[in-house]
Amino acid sequence: MSPGGRTADLDLKAMMEELWAKVRVYNPQADEDKLWFGYRFAKAAHEGQMRKSGEPFFTHALTVATILADLRLDVDTLIAAMVHDVVEDTDYEMEDIRQRFGKDVAHMVDGVTKISGIRAVNKDARKAETYRKLVLAIAQDPRTVLIKLADRLHNMRTLSFLKDDRQLDIAQETMDVYVPLANRFGIARMKWELEDLAFKVLQPERYFEVEAGINQTRAERERLIQKIVTPLHESLNHAGVKHEISGRPKHFYSIYRKMKEQDIGMDRVYDLLALRIIVDTKADCYHALGALHSQFPPLADRIKDYIATPKANMYQSIHSTVRVPGGKYIEVQIRTGDMHDRAELGIAAHWRYKEGGGADKSDLAEMVKWLRQIMVWEEDVADAEEFMETLKVDFFRDEVFVFSPGGDVFQMPRGATPLDFAFRIHSEVGFRCIGAKVNGRIVTLRSELQNGDSVEILTSKTPNPSSSWLEVVKTSRAKHHIRRWIKTTQFEESVKLGREILEKELKRAHLKTKVDDLVDVSQQMGYTDLDKMLAAVGRGEITHMKVVGRVAPAPESKAEKVISRGKEIYDSLLGRSTSGVRVAGVDNLMVSFARCCQPIPGDSILGIITRGRGVSVHRVGCSNLNDPNLGPERMIEVSWDSGPDQTFMVKLIIQAVDRKNLLMDISNTLSNTNTNIASGEFSAEDDLAKVTMVVEVRNLNNLEKILKALGKVRGVQGIERFQLGTRKN
Ligand code: MN
């Protein structure tokens, strides 16, 4: 081993010892052997790989684990962090991880590996698909997101070793994906750092402007703090509230965002400085608020009580902006120590090792509930991009708080409409919604709800959703309900229609079979239940012919007549196919194929405008076209426009020398050419047999192949395509 390698090894070992020292403080019972085993395994796996910074690659994974140890996470998470790049960057498989460290660790690594593929939001469907995987991975084990965030944090800290354009890409992705992710999971500590690191790369001039501004005003700010903190201490002590006060400048990016949003200079950003009062109990929070306001008057519209109404990421705190001596304003946050922990660590707080027990999962279920809900709703969403759009609303947007007429507070994602609110109250309210009043005034259902709006929903007696509502609502909850409704009602109507069609057709075909007897047929056709097949018929996805054609024939007394089933069925059906032909540029015209000549694609055809039955399509040369009553004004040009899977019925008349197995040979020949026989009829006089068959063909070419094959059957003397008028049937 090279001397450099040895030094690197010693550095890694020192890092690991430091990591273990941290862990043993908060978790003395931690499995030290398992942790070191993970270290040795991952170190060996990455042996020889280098980072762009020139350090051994494994420093990265080890740092990620250390960041997580600072959040006091459990041993499995730390190991998963140490091995998180092993599957992606070495020859080891997920199975190797599972065998060594168990399925929990393997799951986390799997999730992290999948998330690695994610690039900026909303680029294309493939990326959205990866996002789905992310949501799934997090729903399965929320620790996955902690590892991924720590991974990104370390990569952002060491970004300067990459080329400029890579830096920009990664910083943008961090801003688009990981900052909102950290925010949604309430991990303020990571959110701020990621945001400021990305800000510095994306808008360096702005970043340094803010930095310079903060440095310039430092002395002034410290004087200000003293002016506030001293009287506040006294006031709180007087009220008997145990407390700690801390104050520091806000994060760079949040200052910049305020300046941009409100179009103001830095001197006018109220909460350049946030003062934080940490107390013991919830009651003390309100006592402290009282003490604060008795000293410094609040700005009435800038008090936010996130204790009574926590944010979706479970953030709790009271915010109040107060006026301080010199005409300045400052934002004060009041919260308990527990709330503070959760605000800084978010979801991580729930996985922290607790003395005398494992991870605290009490609120964790609540925290990922919304995520699981999205996974359920997501099943309704056909394409990944749409899923992404809804997810972005539920996941990444800020919240607004709105009120019901009764004064209840509801939290909605920013951008939500009154219709979203209606569905938020109850799906029935949503379905019956016909309008809304916001702050007493009628508004359109499309209008965006604002913080503090009081929303009243106007309803009708009957539900009235429409598919256009999907454009109006923003939340996945509302979308889910609307989609369900459309699906259900449309489905019911289609089933009804399909049932009517089939009842009529079965009757017309003189079949005793009832629609409810078609369960087997529906299964043969690949439907899980009868209603689904009926709906498909109702929607026109499959023709009634396909269904009726599959109804098993009633047993015949004469063996040779097995394939004989009333020619009426097919004759009646033949005239009723309505697609496959284009009529001189006109759409949606009723089209039927003449029974007399049964045209199929490839035949030259001509349309006759009938009275009340649309256009009837005939083969050119059909004797019926010679009808003296037909004037040229009733002839219309038509052309074939059939899909590749569309089939047409053709009746064939086969003359043959009667012999044993003749019918069997004919039907075998047809099945060898993949031809469906719709019906057949057999008659024999002396030793001459006549077989009439209706077969399904795609086009003329297909028919010619069939005729050729049939011509080779022993005994066959002639085959004719049925044409009314040329031969009596
Ligand atoms: Mn990594």
CA of 151 to the centre of ligand 1 (A): 5
> Is residue 21, in this structure, part of any structural domain at all?
yes
CA of 113 to the centre of ligand 1 (A): 9
| Domain end marker among 152, 170, 203 | 203
- Residue 156 Cα to ligand 1 midpoint, Å, equals 11
Ligand 1 centroid from CA 362, angstroms: 30
Helices (H), ranges, 346-383? 347-351, 364-378
Q: Note whether 520 and 593 are same-domain residues.
A: no
Q: Is residue 403 part of a domain?
A: no
260 and 313 housed in the same domain: yes
Distance of CA 83 from the midpoint of ligand 1 (Å): 9
Q: What separation in Å is there between the alpha carbon of 383 and the centre of ligand 1?
A: 30
Residue 443 Cα to ligand 1 midpoint, Å, equals: 49
The verdict on 176 and 68 lying in the same domain is yes
Active site residues: 88-89
Residues 285, 287, 292, 293, CA torsion sign: positive
Does 271 lie in the same domain as 173?
A: no
User: How many Å lie between the centroid of ligand 1 and the Cα of residue 325?
Assistant: 49
Instruction: Determine the pLDDT at residue 106.
Output: 92
Tell the burial category of 330 from Cβ atoms under 10 Å away from its Cβ (0-12, 13-18, 19+).
buried
Of residues 98, 132, 92, the one with CA closest to residue 115: 132
**Residue 98 in domain:** yes
Residues of 15-42 as b/e, b for ≥16 C-beta within 10 angstroms?
bbeebbebbeebbeebeeebbeebbebb
Q: Are strands 615-619 and 591-593 parallel, antiparallel or unpaired?
A: parallel
pLDDT tens, 22-40? 999 988 888 999 999 999 9
DSSP state of 404: -
Alpha carbons 154 and 645: distance in angstroms, whole number? 56
> Rounded distance, CA 46 to CA 86, Å?
7
What's the 684 CA to ligand 1 centre distance in angstroms? 82
How far apart (Å, rounded) are the C-alpha atoms in residues 250 and 370? 30
Q: Are residues 323 and 280 in the same domain?
A: yes
pLDDT value of position 66? 96
What is the Cα–Cα distance from 563 to 677, expressed in whole angstroms? 9
Number of domains making up the chain: 5
> What is the value of pTM for the model shown?
0.56
Chunk the chain into consecutive blocks of 10 residues (it has 729) and report each block's average pLDDT, rounded to whole numbers.
Answer: 60 93 90 94 91 88 94 91 91 92 91 65 53 68 86 93 88 83 81 94 92 80 82 89 83 83 70 82 91 87 81 82 82 90 74 50 56 57 56 63 79 88 92 90 90 87 84 86 84 86 85 87 86 85 82 47 36 44 59 80 80 74 77 75 75 87 85 81 82 85 89 88 54
Distance 80 CA to ligand 1 centre (A): 11
358 backbone dihedrals φ, ψ, rounded to 5°: -85, -150
> pLDDT tens-digit profile of 691-726?
888 888 888 888 888 988 898 888 888 888 876 643
Q: Which among 461, 459, 464, 457 has a CA at the least distance from the CA of 486?
A: 464
In order, the DSSP letters of 134-199 are HHHHHHH-THHHHHHHHHHHHHHHTGGGS-HHHHHHHHHHIIIIIHHHHHHTT-HHHHHHHHHHHH
CATH code of residue 188: 1.10.3210.10
Whether residues 174 and 46 share a domain: the answer is yes
Angle at 367 between CA 366 and CA 372, to 5 degrees: 85
Q: Contact, 694 vs 667, CB < 8 A?
A: no
Residues 143 and 37 in one domain: yes
The CATH number covering residue 691 comes to: 3.30.70.260
Answer yes or no: do 45 and 64 share one domain. Answer: yes
Domain assignment present for residue 373? The answer is no
Ligand 1 center from residue 112 Cα (angstroms): 9
Among left, alpha and beta (phi > 0; psi -120 to 50; other), residue 588 is left
Assigned domain for 437 exists: no
β-strand 605-609 against 635-636: which pairing, if any? antiparallel
Residue 124 lies in a domain: yes
- CA angle 402/408/410 to nearest 5° reads 40
Distance between CA atoms of 597 and 621, rounded to whole angstroms? Answer: 9
Distance CA 188, CA 193 (A): 9
Residue 268 lies in a domain: yes
Last residue of a domain, one of 316, 344, 372: 344
Write phi, then psi, for 324 (nearest 5 degrees).
-120, 165
Residue 513: inside a domain, yes or no?
Answer: yes
Note whether 610 and 705 are same-domain residues. Answer: no
DSSP letter (8 states) at residue 553: P
The dihedral through the CA atoms of 472, 478, 479, 484 has a sign that is: negative
Based on the fold, state whether residues 540 and 596 are members of the same structural domain.
no
Q: How far is the CA of 162 from the centre of ligand 1 (A)?
A: 15
Q: How far is the CA of 42 from the centre of ligand 1 (A)?
A: 12
Do residue 101 and residue 227 come from a single domain?
no
Structure tokens at 50: 């280098």
Task: Report residue 259 as tokens.
Answer: 């300046």
Question: What span, in angstroms and rounded, lies between the C-alpha atoms of 365 and 199?
Answer: 33
Q: Which residue has the tokens 């934002």?
A: 331
Integer Cα distance of 292 and 484 in angstroms: 51
Whole-number Å distance, alpha carbon 116 to ligand 1 midpoint, is 8
End residue of a domain, out of 505, 520, 551: 551
Q: Can you tell me whether residue 337 is helix, strand or coil?
A: helix
Domain extent at residue 220: 211-344
Question: How far, in Å, CA of 509 to CA of 495, rounded?
Answer: 21
Distance 59 CA to ligand 1 centre (A): 10
Residue of 726, 596, 579 lying closest to 651 (CA atoms): 596
The Å distance, Cα 349 to ligand 1 centre, comes to 22
Ligand 1 center–CA 81 separation, angstroms? 8
Q: Which residues, at least 6 apart from 180, have a Cβ–Cβ distance to it below 8 Å?
A: 395, 396
**Residues 672 and 717 occupy one common structural domain:** yes
Return the CATH number at 314: 3.30.460.10
Calculate how far, in angstroms, residue 61's C-alpha sits from the geometric centre of ligand 1. Answer: 6
Nearest alpha-carbon partner for 19 in 58, 56, 57, 67: 67
Ligand 1 center from residue 152 Cα (angstroms): 7
Question: How far does the centroid of ligand 1 lie from the alpha carbon of residue 346, in Å?
Answer: 22
For residue 677, what are its two tokens?
């026989």
Q: What's the CA gap between 368 and 312, in Å, rounded?
A: 11
